[in-house]
Amino acid sequence: MLTRRHFLAGLSTAAAATWLQPLRAAAGDPAKDPLLGHGRFRYRANKNWVPPGQGRNHPILNCHEMVQVRDGRLFMVGDHPDHQMLVFKPDGTILESWGSVWPGGHGLTLADENGAEFLFVTDCGLWKTGTGAYRQTGRVTKIDLTGREIFSLSHPATVGAYEPKMPFNPTETAVAPNGDIYIADGYGSNFVLRYDRNGKFIARFGGKTGVPAEQRLDSAHGIAVDLRAGADKATLLVTSRNDLCFRRFSLDGRYLETLPVPGCNVCRPVISGQELYAGVCWSKDPVASKLPGNPSGFTVILDAAGKVISAPGGTEPVYTDGKLTPLTRAQPIIDHGHDVCVLTNGDMIVCQWNAFQTYPIYLERVV
């Protein structure tokens, strides 16, 4: 049977883009949609980006990560038992939802191989059903845009990289220009594992113990390849969420520097243009911690030098003697910002975790 996703996959890029019009969400309402952010990066928040009634056929629990493919579609991974992948039009309409094999759906990375697009889905192995919470070994699966599985990477003990009793609960992947795959084991043993494009293990680095404190990874929640200095100077940015920072490494795992984001339990680094974006899942917010559901979070934007230049939903970044004053939540708009998807027009879509089963928030850039 020809499904909608197979139909879309068969279209040319131009035809699919036309079919997916409009390519931008409806403009926010200045009378009721608040402004977030600072300096050149200010946004109007639209919490109703997804049209009403979508949940009937496309329910969600938590929104984890989102990427946009060339034809304009937005793929988002979550952890609903039967709707782990949701596919959106840029105007918020949900085209389809599918997937029941990643109960701990957490990470989503887009890769391009000679013009063909693929997704790497990270199942962290932590999931809930009813009132119970469960932990199992996680895995990373490479799929095409129709959901067809190419291969999976499971517990590193199978390739001699871990001892069998070491937990493997990966949270994110990144793909280098040569096709090498990097897995951040952020909820497990906090190593970064490197494989070649075919899934052959190469090396591991990082870890929470046995390394200098300034290099350790404590909740290695996200990872990205940083190409802003050129492909020949590519590096890796790895989140150390409990240390409120990003760590920079060479592609072979040599520690280079730390980018501190005080006050912010940041999620994965997302690079667009010369800026680094990230969701902030928690902050040191004494007011929010006392509210039902402990709503907390916002987003941050860092420039190429690693300086925070805007914190949409958070307090204004202030540097004193070169050090950033710890940021906190300033506006009750974003609940547990887990990921951002930066669109080509500069707008952002924010995925939220533990946000009362709500869909992502659209942030329209106004400056």
Q: What is the largest CA-CA distance in the chain?
A: 63
Confidence (pLDDT) at 34: 86
The structural domains of the chain, ordered by start, are 23-365 (2.120.10.30)
d(CA 7, CA 14): 14
According to DSSP, residue 362 is labeled E
CA distance 55 to 359: 9
Q: How far apart are CA 239 and CA 214, in angstroms?
A: 13
Q: What angle do CA 95, 101, 102 make, to 5 degrees?
A: 85
pLDDT digits (tens, 9 = 90+) for 317-349: 999 999 999 999 999 999 999 999 999 999 999
What is the rounded CA–CA span in Å between residue 231 and residue 69? 21
Which tens digit of pLDDT belongs to each residue from 11-20? Answer: 444 444 444 5
- Residue 154 confidence (pLDDT) above 70: yes
pLDDT digits 0-9 by tens, 103-126? 999 999 999 999 999 999 999 999
Helix, strand, or coil (residue 24): coil
What is residue 232's three-state secondary structure? Answer: helix
Assessment of whether the complete model's pTM goes beyond 0.85 = yes
Cα 341 from Cα 349, distance rounded (Å): 5
CB 297 within 8 A of CB 329: yes
Residue 215 has pLDDT above 60, yes or no: yes
Question: In this structure, are strands 63-68 and 74-78 parallel, antiparallel, or unpaired?
Answer: antiparallel
pLDDT tens sequence across 122-133? 999 998 877 788
To the nearest 10°, report the CA torsion of 272, 246, 126, 349: -30
pLDDT tens figures, 30-82: 556 789 999 999 999 999 999 999 999 999 999 999 999 999 999 999 999 99
Whether 359 has a pLDDT exceeding 50, the answer reads: yes
